[in-house]
């Protein structure tokens, strides 16, 4: 079996030799940014938008990305080609780079770029098909004037703690509230509700990441004649929604059927969610919505 090839700082290395220093501040402090990207049938979905978001995240944390956007795109495509992949999950990472055991980022003279192309399975297929069980976690999303989740950083402890709670109570996923009590998102997904024929999703200022798949779903919904509102959502609205579903690069579209013991809708994927699940693959694999890696 051919060994997986990984890009690190200008070199394509076999997985067994793809290593980073234990002094890298991405490892020591979660100091870096990343993107999760999908490829469908030889087309990398919304690659340019993912790269734009990566550079925006880097700018916010004052992380110098050591290559131009065009070079970053070539590195992603090159990694796909060297692994002979047409369908894949891609992890694009920029770390602060090698420093010392101190916190000061000035000790890191050069950041590192890593590209991994492979596969990912977040939830069992049966759970997604039948709808997933969720809980509103006690862990609140970090405030936007703290480690804002508009930045897709390497520090995911906030999400890890919520995922641990979901695991402990036998749920498939957790849902975050922000410090004011409004619904934010899942541990790694955006969230939508359907109520009286309208789709509603939380805005970034309540603590949600501006999702690439979230935006794509809004576009698909509009083509399907579904009006979309971007506004704060309360837990009360969540419990009483006709449908609830997650969206994300890795999760794609996952119907939610139970939240903290409350059955959502009829306890199975709703009609809009099922239509969206059916329509989205063709939209995502359309070359017009991606960048060729063949």
Q: Active-site residues: which are they?
A: 152
Cβ atoms < 10 Å from Cβ of 243: 24
Q: What are phi and psi of 68, to 5 degrees?
A: -75, 165
SS (HEC) of 16-82? HHCCCCCCEHHHHHCCEEEEEEEEECCEEECHHHHHHHHHHHHHHCCCCCCCCHHHHHHHHHHHHHH
Residues 109, 170 contacting (CB under 8 angstroms) = no
Pairwise CA distance, residues 257 & 246, whole Å? 11
Pairwise CA distance, residues 73 & 14, whole Å? 20
Pairwise CA distance, residues 205 & 186, whole Å? 15
Pairwise CA distance, residues 31 & 33, whole Å? 7
Pairwise CA distance, residues 152 & 167, whole Å? 23
Residues 58, 94 contacting (CB under 8 angstroms) = yes
Residues 26, 99 contacting (CB under 8 angstroms) = no
Residues 95, 114 contacting (CB under 8 angstroms) = yes
CA count, 13 A, side-chain hemisphere, 124: 8
């Amino acid at each position: 079996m051919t060994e997986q090839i990984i890009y690190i700082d200008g070199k394509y290395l076999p997985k067994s030799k793809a290593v980073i220093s234990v002094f890298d501040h991405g490892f020591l402090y979660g100091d870096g940014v990343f993107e999760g990207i999908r490829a469908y049938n030889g087309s990398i979905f919304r690659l340019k938008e993912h790269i734009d978001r990566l550079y925006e995240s880097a700018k916010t944390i004052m992380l110098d990305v050591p290559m131009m956007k065009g070079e970053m795109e070539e590195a992603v495509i090159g990694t796909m080609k060297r692994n002979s992949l047409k369908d894949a999950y891609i992890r694009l990472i920029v770390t602060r780079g090698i420093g010392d055991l101190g916190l000061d980022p000035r000790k890191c003279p050069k950041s590192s770029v890593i590209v991994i192309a492979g596969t990912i399975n977040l939830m069992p297929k049966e759970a997604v098909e039948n709808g997933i069980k969720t809980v509103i976690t006690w862990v609140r999303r970090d405030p936007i004037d703290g480690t804002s989740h508009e930045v897709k950083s390497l520090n995911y402890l906030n999400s890890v703690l919520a995922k641990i709670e979901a695991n402990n109570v036998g749920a498939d996923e957790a849902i975050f509230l922000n410090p004011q009590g409004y619904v934010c998102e899942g541990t790694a997904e955006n969230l939508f509700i359907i109520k009286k024929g309208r789709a509603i999703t939380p805005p970034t200022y309540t603590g949600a990441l501006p999702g690439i798949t979230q935006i794509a779903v809004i576009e698909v919904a509009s083509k399907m004649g579904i009006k979309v509102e971007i506004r704060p959502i309360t837990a009360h609205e969540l419990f009483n929604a006709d449908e609830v579903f997650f969206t994300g690069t890795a999760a794609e579209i996952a119907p939610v059927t139970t939240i903290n013991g409350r059955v959502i809708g009829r306890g199975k994927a709703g009609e809009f969610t099922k239509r969206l699940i059916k329509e989205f693959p063709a939209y995502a694999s359309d070359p017009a919505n991606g960048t060729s890696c063949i």
